[in-house]
Amino acid sequence: MNDDRAPLILDRVRLRLGPRTLLGPLDAHIPPGHCWTLMGPSGSGKSSLLAWLAGTLDVAFTAEGRVCIGERDVTTLPPEQRRIGILFQDDLLFPHLSVGGNLAFALPARIRDRHERRARIEQALADAGLAGHAERDPVTLSGGQRARVALLRTLLAEPDALLLDEPFGKLDHARREDMRRFVFAHVRARGLPTVLVTHDEDDARAALGPVVSLAMADTDHTDDRITR
């Protein structure tokens, strides 16, 4: 595992939508290479929490609390400076770019050397069992291959933390299993502190971390609880 990684810390996070408290107060300390799972009924604020962590929460919400990666407080930083990667269920690849073009888009701009950029993309594809697919048109990939390319794209941006919003939702049973293994192997090998949103108990079990159960705001809950 990468030794210079830091934990993802949520400190007294509370989200409001108009007058009602949607979620929180929530505290979390997610160590490098560990994944916490967020579960809860539809509308309990799971995706909104990820959007807040990524810095893209809609202005309809108000938020309190802090999000830090180790000592680095990113709460007020714009999304592109947070170094928090996010992967969605419907993570679309750009249809006008090849697979390699999609991945090149994510590579940090500081990597300028053309050969180095190409080598990183080839290596990422090889790690994902997709060696030689750089020139492919994304629409010709299977659903499972597309999901892996979308994860590679997120990881090539070199995030310090990872957010997964129902990333396996669209896959059939066998591909879901493969993708889970693939994702969590990367989480551990890269030492990324990770938050997974899912409705699926098998996903939560595979994540091997605590499960945070969010209640519905209308039940007037006070604290969201870690249930296991």
Ligand X SMILES: Nc1ncnc2c1ncn2[C@@H]1O[C@H](COP(=O)(O)OP(=O)(O)OP(=O)(O)O)[C@@H](O)[C@H]1O
* Closer residue to ligand X (CB): 51 or 107: 51
> Are the C-beta atoms of residues 12 and 27 closer than 8 Å to each other?
yes
For residues 75-107, b (16+ Cβ closer than 10 Å) or e, as one string?
beeeeeebbbbbbbbebebeeeebbbbbbbebb
Q: Which is nearer to ligand X, 40 or 144 (CB)?
A: 40
CB of 48 to ligand X, least distance (A): 3
Question: What is d(CA 99, CA 135) in angstroms, rounded to the nearest whole number?
Answer: 6
Shortest Cβ distance from residue 203 to ligand X (Å)? 13
Under 8 Å between Cβ of 179 and 167: yes
Q: How far is the CB of 43 from ligand X (least distance, A)?
A: 4
Q: Supply the minimum distance, in Å, between the C-beta of residue 44 and ligand X.
A: 4
C-alpha to C-alpha distance for 218 and 202, rounded to whole angstroms: 28
DSSP annotation of 102: H
HSE at residue 6, side-chain half, CA atoms within 13 A, is 15
CB 187 within 8 A of CB 162: yes
Give the interface with ligand X as residue ranges (CB under 6 A): 17, 22, 40, 42-48, 58, 60
Question: Closest distance between ligand X and the C-beta of residue 199, in Å?
Answer: 7
CB of 132 to ligand X, least distance (A): 36
- Closer to ligand X by Cβ: residue 7 or 43: 43
Between 51 and 179, CB nearer to ligand X: 51
Residue closer to ligand X, measured from CB, 47 or 154: 47
- The CA distance from 166 to 186, in Å, is 17
Decide whether 47 or 194 has the Cβ nearer to ligand X: 47
Give the strand order in the sheet containing 20-30: 20-30, 8-17, 61-69, 72-73
